Amino acid sequence: MQMRTGQTSTQAPVNDTSAIAKVSRRSMLAGAGGFAVSVALAGRPGLSFAQELQSARPLTQVRGGDATPSLWIAIEEDGTVRITCHRAEMGQQAWTAMAQIVADELEADWDDVQIVQAEGDAKYGDQNTDGSRSVRFNLHRLRVAGAAMRGMLEQAAANEWGVDVARCTAKLGQVRNSQNGRRLGFGELAVAAAALPLPTEDQVKLKERRDWRYIGKPVPSLTVPKIIRGQGEYGIDVDRPNMVYAVIAHPPQLFGKVGTVDDSDALTVPGVLKTIRLPDAEPPALFKPLGGMAVIATDTWAAIQGREALQIDWVDGPNADYDSKDFLAGLVASVRQPGGVRSNRGDVDGALASAKTKVEADYATPHYAHSSIEPVSATAEWNGDKLTCWACVQDAQTTRNTIHQGLGIPLENITVHTTWLGGAFGRKSKPDFVLEAVLLAQQMGRPVKVTWTREDDLQQDYFHMPSAQHFEAGLDEDGKCTAFLHRSAFPSIATTFVPGLNQMRDEELSQGVLDNPFDVPNFRTESGTATGHVRIGWLRSVCNTFHAFGVQSFAAELAHAAGRDQKDYLLDLVGPSRIVDPLADGAKYNNYGADPEEYPIDTGRLRHVIERAADMARWGRRMRKGRGLGIAAHRSFLTYVATVIEVAVDDEGRLEIPGIWLAADAGTVVNPRHSEDQFEGGTLFGLSNALYGEISTQGGAVVQNNFPDWRLMRMEEAPKDMEIEIVASDAPPAGTGEPGTPPAAPALTNAIFAATGLRIRKLPIFGADGDRLPIENVQKS
């Protein structure tokens, strides 16, 4: 591979750093308290069905992809069952969920199950761990893989005993003979089973739902015990022989460039070895490195100190005049003008003109950052022309392909290992930081770990897009909504890939605009135009977050205008139980890529979660002064969620959240406890952004740089009581990681209005420096 032009390096004088101890967080934890754990897997390699017949593999085309057992399952002679997880583990319990599916159909004993993290490889199919799709995409094929192997183990036992296979039943890691009570462990049968032909899909016997042992049960996490013991490996934990460490000074603006550099002071910092100029970034941004100056050192701290000592004159790029506050103000003004029609039903203009009451409102949200607990980190190592990377990425396969396409390295020469991710929320599906490590490792001729600091993470993110929405509605004499107009504008994620693009994609408008289920006879959606000036990327719930804020807040405004209870009016807007088809209104709706026959927009399910959340919160109870309830409901990632929030506001405008009640219908849920965790986390994520979240730019550069000015919701601000109900359902599986976020903000702001009369149409509610609602708007009663 040839380095791109523009890369230069400067060597530091030798500094004696041999006395600097390298003490890792991992070693400190594992050695603390006398509970150090040592694990050694001795003996011959696992019997992974690699000996299966080399004839055609009949399970490669099942729904979801390849279900060939050897791709997912290996059985050791001692009965250990190793299950491969091809999705990234970032706290959402993908390891546990994937293992539950396979182990259930396999009839493995849970105590024998261990997880193997897959490398990035096309043989696994889709490895992109975002979009709340891991279970939806893989439930069927992993069940088939487990059941196929179970059948082969039962057949191997039948052959051993000379009995009909119908007399052999797998249960908890053994096959039992009903004729004589004899038993054989999976480990004893693995070699014989491997020699059997693979079944076809119609020969595989899946369990009935009533017989599931692990699926749908709150099975304990496979990762939490490792975290407690300091085991497992995050991106920051990777350590390779002869490795050096890199920290990079990136241009403050997107497509800014390095002008002149004085690195003389940096090279005097103890431990600093070298500085290297990375290639300047050019449009489109894609997943390419941002450019800048890298400082290479014997440890990360030395690299950070070396970066601080750099003197760089930056050359402005094309986004030097980007001021996010001015941009958002212009965006709000733009949505007050007609936009491009994206769907239409009836005669909205006529119905608005004849309405007894007309209601209008604008809503706006700023840029957000992902700010996962672990900033990004990647390690790259060359061995001749072979490259190996270790990184906290959400999609190892896309990472591998990006390295191949961007740097010209043959795909077969690239190996990408996915570490655990300390949170991600969409940021770590963009592997720009991995490419940085690859380029620097080649220059150094030794392994290089690139670490982004919190400041890097906040200022160089793929930011959530700002948004503006305009609503108009007409009400008749009885307060019934007869006309509804929704216009939305935001810079599309596609601007990261297509410079100059100013249109919203149908996929983005399918998240809360085109799929609006309201039963209003005259209904129109429109989109405005907007361009991107920073890297825009998907963030938890993507466009659902701001669209739900607008739609559900405006629904509460209509209830108030009609003199109605907000929950009752919301149910009236949703209308009777029915299937909604956005295509009938001319919408180019994508339904999250799912078949609408299997995953229709079902207002009966939406109504049910609204009613359940309201019942859980004891909706309609008498509230004390300064207290109020707010409700919001939204379908995203094929899951239906309703959230009720109670707030308490004192006379000085201080806000508390005494309780949250959430009902979710996510279809078939593999692990209800972990799904509850996801809905809790998603709700808190939404509340934190609603209260404080705002990334702003001046002169094209991000203003915020760490938690003092990018404030997160704090522990004492979290709700005192939080109740989650997962609706029992045999519908196909939908998402759980993201759907809890969209209803959080509108439920909160609707509750604030109920308590104080203060209507909030622009987020954040406070910002990093505030913690009081305007007391002049607090109701006096």
For 64-118, how does the pLDDT look when each residue is reduced to its tens digit (9 = 90+)? 999 999 999 999 999 999 999 999 999 999 999 999 999 999 999 999 999 999 9
What pLDDT is attached to residue 16? Answer: 35
Examine the pLDDT at 29 and tell me if it is beyond 70: no
**Residue 643, CB-side half-sphere exposure with 13 Å CA sphere:** 35
Give CA–CA dist 778/760, Å, rounded. 13
Three-state SS letters, 482-550:
EEEEEEEECCCHHHHCCCCCCCCCHHHHCCCCCCCCCCCCEEEEEECCCCCCCCECCCCCCCHHHHHHH
Nearest to 549 by CA among 480, 657, 467: 467
| Contact between residue 222 and residue 117 where contact means Cβ atoms under 8 Å apart | no
Give CA–CA dist 25/588, Å, rounded. 50
For 206-249, how does the pLDDT look when each residue is reduced to its tens digit (9 = 90+)? 999 999 999 999 999 999 999 999 999 999 999 999 999 999 99
Burial 150-178 (b: 16+ CB within 10 A, else e): bbbbbbbbbbbbebeeeebebeebbbbbe
Give CA–CA dist 126/134, Å, rounded. 9
Give CA–CA dist 318/563, Å, rounded. 50
| Contact between residue 64 and residue 87 where contact means Cβ atoms under 8 Å apart | no
Pairing of strands 357-365, 467-475: antiparallel
Examine the pLDDT at 780 and tell me if it is beyond 90: no
Give CA–CA dist 170/376, Å, rounded. 44
Give CA–CA dist 339/503, Å, rounded. 11
Which residues, at least 6 apart from 42, have a Cβ–Cβ distance to it below 8 Å?
none
Q: How many residues does the chain have?
A: 781
Peptide bond into 284 cis (omega under 30): yes
The torsion region of residue 571 among left (phi > 0), alpha (psi -120 to 50) and beta comes to alpha
Pairing of strands 481-489, 522-527: parallel
Give CA–CA dist 513/487, Å, rounded. 8
Instruction: Give the SS3 label for residue 113.
Output: strand
Q: Give how far Cα 460 sits from Cα of 231, 369, 447, 533, Å.
A: 30, 9, 24, 12
Nearest to 217 by CA among 671, 571, 628: 671
What pLDDT is attached to residue 67? Answer: 97
Which residues, at least 6 apart from 666, have a Cβ–Cβ distance to it below 8 Å?
638, 639, 640, 675, 726, 727, 729, 733, 734, 735, 736, 739
Examine the pLDDT at 717 and tell me if it is beyond 80: yes
Nearest to 494 by CA among 529, 459, 460: 529
For 558-592, how does the pLDDT look when each residue is reduced to its tens digit (9 = 90+)? 999 999 999 999 999 999 999 999 999 999 999 99
Alpha helix (H) residue ranges in 229-363? 300-309, 324-334, 348-354
What pLDDT is attached to residue 343? Answer: 98
| Contact between residue 198 and residue 52 where contact means Cβ atoms under 8 Å apart | yes
Give CA–CA dist 488/198, Å, rounded. 52
Pairing of strands 73-75, 81-85: antiparallel
| Contact between residue 142 and residue 148 where contact means Cβ atoms under 8 Å apart | no
For 604-622, how does the pLDDT look when each residue is reduced to its tens digit (9 = 90+)? 999 999 999 999 999 999 9
**What residue has token string 């969920």?**
97
For 30-74, how does the pLDDT look when each residue is reduced to its tens digit (9 = 90+)? 333 322 222 222 233 344 444 443 345 899 999 999 999 999 999
Peptide bond into 289 cis (omega under 30): no
Return the H-helix or E-strand segment holding 556.
helix 544-562
User: What order do you get walking across the sheet with 721-726 strand by strand?
Assistant: 627-636, 639-649, 655-665, 721-726
> DSSP code of 66?
-
pLDDT band at 10 (very low <50, low <70, confident <90, very high): low
Give CA–CA dist 507/514, Å, rounded. 9
| Contact between residue 113 and residue 73 where contact means Cβ atoms under 8 Å apart | no
Q: Greater confidence, 64 or 21?
A: 64
As a whole number of angstroms, the longest Cα–Cα distance in the chain is 86
Give the percent of the chain with pLDDT over 70: 92
pTM of the entire structure?
A: 0.93
